[in-house]
Amino acid sequence: MDILRILIVEDSPIVAERLRESLCELRAIRIIDTIDRETKAIEAIELGGIDVVVLDLRLNRGTGFGVLRALSKLEERPIVIIFTNYDLPEYRRQALALGADYFLDKARDFERLPQLIDTLRGGPPRQRHSPELVPA
């Protein structure tokens, strides 16, 4: 991948800004947009041109689960990184079952997100349910 195009779907303006600042420090990254609603996120993703979605589970209107359900209908979909404060086993299972590629806890994994994005920029094959990023 040349430039990794990222969509941030996050309801907290403070967290969204921290994510933008953190990710903008990486080379060959372009933040396409920051969205806080399920329907707007789905519309943006359906337009195409997004390689990675950083997706919160709780949104201002709707949920990250709704976004994942909509993405499951797409032939080509971006890599999805769930990035949430709700690191509950049932949420993790449901997100992964709906097609999330990675599941990160905001409190524990905030500093790991840029590292993961940088790895994805290198273009390795998609590794769903990575044990290092999706603890059992």
**pTM tops 0.85:** yes
* Domains of the chain, residue spans: 4-121
CA dist., res. 126 & res. 16, Å (int) = 25
Second-level CATH architecture of 4-121: 3-Layer(aba) Sandwich (3.40)
Sheet of 102-105: strand order equals: 29-35, 4-9, 52-55, 79-84, 102-105
pLDDT in tens, 36-76: 999 999 999 999 999 999 999 999 999 999 999 999 999 89
Pair 83, 60: CB distance under 8 Å: no
Rounded Cα distance between 130 and 42, Å, is 25
Query: What does the DSSP 8-state code read for residue 76?
Result: S
If you write DSSP's letter for every residue of 64-130 in order, what string do you get?
A: HHHHHHHHTT-SS--EEEEEES---HHHHHHHHHTT-SEEEEHHHHTTHHHHHHHHHHT-PPP-TT-
How is residue 34 written in tokens? 């920051």
- The predicted-structure confidence for 75-112, as pLDDT tens digits, reads as follows 899 999 999 999 999 999 999 999 999 999 999 999 99
